[in-house]
């Protein structure tokens, strides 16, 4: 399973679109495109410009990483497209290591196949610096609604 067009649009909307200038996110990480955290391999710095093609490439790569993370997290658990898209958004946003190591209730719900509990464990309201963010509160509520959408 891969992200649907709706899932990709959800992530893009949640990340407030595609930004072609490198900026500092709320946790002061250099970021560009659709929520892509700049790495040393990207050879970019604050204020640099990228093309939309490069932003799309970053999104494709980051999305593939998030999708693989979801697949490793859920194993053979049967997911609807909306459930997969919601979990992919969460993984895209916080990273698979955070989900594996800092989300015991979500991992327990997945292990039990408890979809209702899984839907309730999709809330992350603090950025990586530990600051509560209004945008993450909204994103979490919308993510849960997507997960539970039939």
Tens-place pLDDT, residues 82-106: 999 999 999 999 999 989 998 999 9
**CA–CA gap between residue 18 and residue 140 (Å, rounded):** 20
Chain position carrying tokens 């993370």: 69
Of 114, 4, 146, the C-alpha closest to 123 is 146
Asked if 123 contacts 98 with a C-beta cutoff of 8 angstroms, the reply is no
- Residue 22, SS3 per DSSP: strand
User: What pTM was computed for the model?
Assistant: 0.93
Whole-number Å distance between alpha carbons of 92 and 136: 13
CATH of domain 5-144: 1.10.530.40
Domain boundaries, the chain: 5-144
Which tokens sit at 92?
């895209």
Q: What is the pLDDT of residues 18-29, one digit of tens each?
A: 999 999 998 899
Cβ neighbours for 1, distance < 8 A, ≥ 6 positions apart: 67, 71, 79, 81, 84
- 59-79 pLDDT tens trace: 999 999 999 999 999 999 999
> What's the whole-number mean pLDDT along residues 33-40?
96
**Cα–Cα nearest to 36, from 53, 22, 52:** 22
Phi-psi sector, 85: left (phi>0), alpha (psi -120 to 50), beta:
alpha
109 CB neighbour count, 10 Å cutoff: 18
């Amino acid at each position: 399973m891969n992200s649907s067009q709706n899932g990709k649009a959800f992530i893009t909307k949640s990340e407030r679109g595609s930004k072609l200038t490198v900026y500092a996110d709320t946790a002061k990480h250099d970021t560009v495109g659709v929520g892509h955290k700049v790495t040393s391999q990207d050879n970019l710095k604050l204020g640099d410009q990228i093309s939309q093609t490069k932003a799309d490439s970053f999104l494709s790569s980051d999305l593939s990483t998030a999708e693989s993370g979801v697949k490793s997290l859920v194993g053979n658990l049967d997911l609807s497209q909306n459930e997969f898209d919601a979990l992919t958004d969460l993984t895209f946003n916080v990273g698979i290591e955070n989900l594996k190591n800092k989300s015991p209730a979500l991992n327990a719900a997945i292990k039990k196949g408890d979809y209702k509990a899984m839907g309730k464990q999709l809330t992350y309201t603090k950025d990586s610096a530990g600051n509560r963010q209004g945008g993450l509160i909204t994103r979490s509520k919308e993510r849960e609604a997507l997960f539970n959408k039939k």
